[in-house]
Structure 1
Amino acid sequence: MPLSIRWPRFIFVSLVALVGIAGFSSLGVWQIQRLYWKRDLIEQVDTRIHAVPIPAPGPAGWSEQDAYRRVTVTGRFLHDEDVLIYTPSDYGPADWVLTPLVTDTGMIIMVNRGVVPDTRARAGEYARDDGTVTVTGLLRVSEDKGWLFSRENDPANGHWYRRDIGSITTAMGYDNAAPYFVDQELGAAAGWPRGGQTVVQFRNAHLSYALTWFALAGVVFAGYVLVLWGHRTAKVCVAPAVDHHA
C-alpha cells in the first residue's frame, strides 16, 4: 500500500519552511549590502579626516555627507554664551565646551572647543580665546537623538546632555546658525578645554550578522529536509496476508 501524504500538514510545513528560508536569506543579503556600505563609509571618513581643510559651509550649503570633513572657520568666539554638555571622559566626569563663533557674515557656528573636567568647567576654569580666531576641526552632524540610557536635554534650565545643535541654537535665539557643529582639533598648547577628542570609530559587525542569518536559513532548510525524510521512511501499512488454509 503506498504511503499517503497528509497534504494539509505537508503544505503548511512547506510554506513555513519557504517563508523562513526566504526571510532569513533576505536578511543575510541585506547585511552583506550593509557591510559594503559600512566599508565604503569608513573609507570615505578616513579620507576626509586626513584631507586638507576646506571653509566651513553655510547653513544651506551642507549635507550629512559632509560629516567628519575637515573644515576651517574664522570669526570671534562669544564666550559669555558657552554651553556645557556633560560627558564621561578619560578625565572622569567632564563637559564639552560648545562656544558660539560668529563669522564676518554674521553666521553662527557652534564650536566644540574640547573637554574640561566637570568641576573646572562648572567653575569656569578654562581658557578663552579673544579676538579673531581661525578654528580647524571636523564637521559633525547634530546629535538630535539620544542613546539608550542617555538623559534628555533640559533647555529651560540650561542642562544639556547631548550636542543637539538645533535645540541649543533655538534656545539661544540664533536665527542664522549652522545646523552642525565643529569639533576643534587638539592645539599645540596644553590646558583646558582639550580638543581633538573626536572618536572616529564605526562598529562593523555586519559580516557576523549576515553569517548568523544565513546559518538560520540553513537550519530551517535542514529541518525541512528531515521532515520530508521522515515522511519518506515512515512505516508503510501492509495489508494482512490471506490464510488459504482457513
Structure 2
Amino acid sequence: MRQAIAIILSLAVLALFIGLGTWQVQRLKWKEGVLAEIDARIAADPVSLPVVPDKARDTYLPVTVSGQMDDATLRVLVSTKAAGAGFRLISPLQTDQGPILIDRGFIRVADEMPPVPAGPVTIEGNLHWPDDRRSSTPDNDVVGNTWFARDLDQMADTLSTKPILVITREMTPAEPNVLPLPVTSEGVPNRHLEYAGTWFLLALTWSVMTLTLLWRKKRRNP
C-alpha cells in the first residue's frame, strides 16, 4: 500500500514538472511572437511626432523630428559588448512642438565630449520610455553630470524639456564621433527556454531518482 502511494505521488510530481516545462514552451512561442511584433514596429516607416505621446500606445514608435539642439548634454553611463564602458549622450532638441530629449548615441569613457551639432538636424529614431533603474542603481550625479539611469522626468527637468525621449537611429547630418545605439528588442526579457529546460531537467532527475529507489527496494525485497 505504501509503495503504491509513493508511486502515485512520484508520478504526480513528474506530471507537474512536465506540465510546467510544457507551459514554458508555450510561453516561449508567445514571447517570440511578441518580440517579432516589436521588431516590426521598431523598423516601420517613421511618422511625425505625436502631439501628446503616450507610453502605452507609442513605445518604440518610429518618428522623424527636426530642429536645433541646445548646447547641453547629459552623460548616461552604459556598457556595450563591442566598445565596453562609455556614455549615452542626451541633449535637448528644439522642435516646432517644443523641446524634447534626444538620445544621440554612444561615446567611450576616454573620448572627449563632442559638441552638439551646430545647425539644424533631422533625426530618425524611436520614442522610448527606458526602464534603466534597478534597486541597486545609484542616484544620478546631476552636478557631476554622470547619470546611471535615463530618468525622463529628472532629465527633462534638468534640460528644461518635455519628458519625451527619441533614441536616434540616424541623424542628418551625421555625428562622426557618436555611435547611435538604436532601440532593439534585445532588452526585452525572454528566459522561457531556460525555464523550460530547468523544469524538464527536474523531470528527468526526478524520474532517475524514483527508478533508482524502486530498483534498490526491489533488490532488497526480491
Q: TM-score, normalised by structure 1?
A: 0.68
**How far is 1:30 from its partner?**
3.3
Alignment of 1:62-73 (within 5 A): 62-63=55-56, 66-73=58-65
Helix, strand or coil for the counterpart of 2:170? coil
User: Counterparts of 2:207 and 2:123 in 1: how far apart (Å)?
Assistant: 59
Q: In structure 1, what is the equivalent of residue 199 of structure 2?
A: 213
Which of the residues 156, 177, 183 maps onto 2:163? 177
- Structure 2 residue aligned with 1:79: 71
Q: Deviations over 1:187-223 (max 9, x none)?
A: 4645133325555536755335413312322332453
1:192 counterpart SS class = coil
Q: Residues 28 and 190 of structure 2 are in contact (CA less than 8 Å); yes or no, is this contact kept in structure 1?
A: yes
Amino acid of the structure 2 residue aligned with 1:164: D
In structure 2, the partner of 1:163 is 150
Equivalent residue number for residue 35 of structure 1: 28
How far is 1:83 from its partner?
A: 1.0
Matching of residue 186 in structure 1 with residue 170 in structure 2: yes
Structure 2 contact 35–185 (Cα < 8 Å) conserved: no
In 2, Cα distance between equivalents of 1:190 and 1:159: 22
Q: Which amino acid aligns with 1:68?
A: Y
> Unpaired segments of 5 or more residues in structure 1?
237-246
Distance 1:19 1:102 in 2: 64
Identity of aligned residues (%): 27
Q: TM-score, normalised by structure 2?
A: 0.74
Query: 2:23 is matched by which residue type in structure 1?
Result: W
Aligned partner of residue 74 in structure 1, secondary structure: strand
Listed as ranges, the matches of 1:46-195 within 5 Å are: 46-63=39-56, 66-80=58-72, 82-89=73-80, 90-91=82-83, 93-106=85-98, 108-121=99-112, 124-131=113-120, 133-146=121-134, 151-157=137-143, 158-172=145-159, 174=161, 176-178=162-164, 181-187=165-171, 189=174, 191-195=176-180
Measure, in 1, the Cα distance between the counterparts of 2:155 and 2:12: 48
> In structure 2, what is the equivalent of residue 244 of structure 1?
none
Structure 2 segments unaligned to the other structure (5+ residues): none
SS of corresponding position for 1:29:
helix
* Residue aligned with 1:217, SS: helix
Whichever residue aligns with residue 110 of structure 1, its letter is: L
Partner of 1:241: none
**Does the C-alpha gap of structure 1 residues 170 and 10 become closer, same or farther in structure 2, counting only changes over 3 Å?**
farther
Question: Which ranges of 4 or more aligned residues in structure 1 deviate by more than 6 Å?
Answer: none
Larger radius of gyration: 1
CA distance in 1 between counterparts of 2:196 and 2:219 reads 35
What value does the CA root-mean-square deviation take over the aligned residues?
A: 3.5
